[in-house]
């Protein structure tokens, strides 16, 4: 499995997932930069994602929805703050209502993605989610965030195994 570690720290209000891949940082970056590749892994297998808007630049926004086994469609968005391909991405991740307006009942997290070459043809990707409060961290944990993200990232190896020119 690609996920090598998950660390939760209630003092810093963070959850960090580390994963390693047999691919270059540039190839791993494509998983974020190409909306067709992103939607193949961003949701867990039972909640596949559809990327509706993909403006991956500072000030841009990514909008997506996931479709559950019962047909439910939770929606989310990223407000993109930092884009430094192929090594760093920072965005604020929130939930939206059906009409696309932000859902104020669910917390927004700040996500920092770090991609680094660790030698031997391998790349480490870290996804750190920072929560606005310990209560928000607990709320999203109760919704299955850790399991969902682990399952989502677990789908990446299959995408990377394909020819990158044909991926997506």
Measured in residues, the chain has a length of 168
Give dist(CA 165, CA 86) in Å, integer.
17
Q: Where are the domains of the chain?
A: 3-160
Q: For position 163, what pLDDT does the model report?
A: 64
Fold exhibited by the domain 3-160: Alpha-D-Glucose-1,6-Bisphosphate; Chain A, domain 4 (3.30.530)
Using only the alpha carbons of the chain, give its radius of gyration.
15
What is the predicted pLDDT for the residue at 2? 86
- Give every residue of the chain whose pLDDT is below 70, as ranges: 1, 163-168
């Amino acid at each position: 499995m690609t996920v090598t570690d998950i660390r939760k720290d209630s003092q810093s209000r963070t959850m960090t997932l580390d994963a390693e891949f047999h691919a270059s940082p540039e190839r791993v970056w494509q998983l974020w930069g190409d909306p067709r590749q992103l939607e193949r892994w961003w949701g867990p297998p039972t909640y596949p994602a559809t990327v509706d808007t993909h403006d991956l630049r500072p000030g841009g926004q990514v909008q997506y929805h996931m479709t559950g086994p019962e047909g439910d469609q939770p929606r989310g968005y990223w407000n993109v703050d930092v884009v430094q391909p192929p090594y760093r991405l920072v965005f604020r991740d929130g939930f939206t209502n059906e009409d696309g307006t932000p859902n104020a009942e669910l917390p927004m997290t700040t996500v920092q993605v770090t991609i680094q070459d660790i030698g031997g043809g391998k790349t480490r990707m870290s996804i750190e989610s920072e929560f606005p409060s310990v209560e928000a961290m607990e709320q999203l944990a109760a919704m299955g965030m850790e399991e969902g993200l682990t399952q989502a990232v677990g789908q990446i190896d299959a995408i990377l195994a394909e020819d990158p020119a044909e991926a997506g």
